[in-house]
Amino acid sequence: MEEALERAILVSLDLGYWDVESALAELEELARTAGAEVVGTLVQKRENPDRATCIGSGKLEELKLLAETLEAELIIFDTELTPSQLRNLEKVVDTRVIDRTMLILDIFAGRANSAEGKLQVELAQLRYSLPRLTGKGTELSRLGGGIGTRGPGESKLESDKRHIHRRISALANELQELTARRGRLRARRRKEGVTTVAIVGYTNAGKSTLLNRLTGAGVLAEDKLFATLDPTSRALTLGDGQKVLLIDTVGLIRRLPHHLIEAFRSTLEEAASASLIVHLCDASSPELDEHIRVTNDLLDSLGAGLTPRLCVLNKADIATLQWDLPLPADTVHISALTGDGLDELLQAISDKLPPTRRLARLLLPYADGSIAAALRRDGIVQTEKYTEDGLYLEVVADSALLEIARAYEI
Ligand SMILES: Nc1nc2c(ncn2[C@@H]2O[C@H](COP(=O)(O)OP(=O)(O)OP(=O)(O)O)[C@@H](O)[C@H]2O)c(=O)[nH]1
Ligand SMILES: [Mg+2]
């Protein structure tokens, strides 16, 4: 059953750092995704947020009145609120108050499906809400449901501080184990020569649509933000017959809450360490340049600076804007919806992939054991025979690595 939409008012401070209009439009999308109906907005221009209440006292009175008039059930601030600002605001307005981070966390909570996704979201939520609980920590339970209070683990976010501390360390331990397992899996893939291609990009760029289009994966794709939380991967065969693993990832957004980046670090790092990153963008968005910048910045901060990247502009079917962005020369234009440009995309992926692995048959002299040792360590030895003429090896390894044994190939 669909939950009734919560009537929400959006509040934004115009500090001059970013474009308030587009920030509010995005906040409205987020609110809509979380199940709210935006009934009003309030903007205040200020040099700095008020320490106690974020907006000034006059504006706060205005907000209180607006909330009463519009019968709002929820007020959403575009900036992060400190624990005391949150408390002070709720005292005055008598309506539930959340901030952008709590909103995003709430959406993630509703979206997490896999055990790992749920764990990551709950951890981020608890870490964010812990300092925002007062006294014995009854504030959250008093809220009794609604946007900002949903959690993936328990039916409702826990409200007992001691319990939360215990739960945080239990979750952190579990996550560490999952991260280690992910690392081992990644190492095995690398050893087995599996080539991975990660689709990375701003939320709603069409990543899942592209994965579905190329592989028939059947991943949920919809016109909401953060439709995908759990990385899905599917085999894809390129034009030249090469098989790669295509990975769909969680969408990015500007000012992504710090706790979420931390919790999703292993997932994001997996994408960042792919053989190739397909950076997918929504070419129909007026904010294209900002989206590209946010994605590039996050990838760089994840250590993906050296991973080859292919810039792909999606939604060519509805893109009408003319950009004068400095896009890379090999940028590909596609429509994941209509299928336009997908052949070019597959070709571009082939071209951009770093040199691949191949099978080599070698006869190595016994005198030089170091080559065999290197191949055993970084390649996959399929056959190994001791013959009169030397060590016979059939090995799959990186072309670059095989160079050391070039003279012994048969
Ligand atoms: N017109 C048009 N719409 C598209 C195209 N590709 C995707 N869409 C639509 O864009 C919306 C978002 O698509 P998704 O595939 O869910 O986007 P995503 O990048 O996976 O989003 P998140 O998982 O939220 O990060 C959906 O409504 C798609 O139908 C396209 O090429 N053209
Ligand atoms: Mg998706």
In this predicted structure, what is the pLDDT of residue 1? 40
In this predicted structure, what is the pLDDT of residue 136? 37
* H/E stretch holding 99: strand 96-99
Ligand 1 centroid vs 10 CA: distance in angstroms? 25
Assign domain 357-408 to its CATH architecture: 2-Layer Sandwich (3.30)
In tens, the pLDDT along 237-281 reads 887 777 889 999 888 998 888 888 888 887 888 888 888 999 999
Domain ranges for the chain = 6-107, 113-175, 194-352, 357-408
Query: 220 CB under 6 A from ligand 1?
Result: no
Q: What 8-state DSSP symbol labels residue 47?
A: S
In tens, the pLDDT along 353-378 reads 877 777 889 999 988 888 889 898 88
302, 95, 263, 278: which is closest to 197 by C-alpha? 278
Comparing 136 with 198, the larger pLDDT belongs to 198
Backbone dihedral region for residue 148 (phi beyond 0: left; psi -120 to 50: alpha; all else: beta)? left
The stretch 320-336 carries a mean pLDDT of 85
359, 358, 368, 374: which is closest to 391 by C-alpha? 368
Distances (CA, A) of 349 to 24, 146, 245, 273, 282: 36, 44, 12, 16, 19
**pLDDT(348) > 70:** yes
- 194-352 matches 6-107 in CATH topology: yes
Query: 205 CB under 6 A from ligand 1?
Result: yes
In this predicted structure, what is the pLDDT of residue 155? 46
In tens, the pLDDT along 100-135 reads 999 999 998 888 888 888 899 999 998 988 887 754
Residue whose CB lies within 8 A of the most ligand 1 atoms, among 29, 209, 233, for a mutation test: 209
Q: Locate tokens 């996050």: which residue?
A: 298
Ligand 1 atom closest to residue 199's alpha carbon, by position in its atom list: 19
Comparing 163 with 77, the larger pLDDT belongs to 77
221, 336, 218, 337: which is closest to 278 by C-alpha? 336
Pick the ligand that lies closest to the CA of residue 314.
1
Ligand 1 centroid vs 221 CA: distance in angstroms? 6
The CATH class that applies to domain 194-352 reads alpha beta
The pTM score is: 0.81
In tens, the pLDDT along 29-71 reads 999 999 999 999 999 999 999 999 999 999 999 999 999 999 9
The CATH class that applies to domain 6-107 reads alpha beta
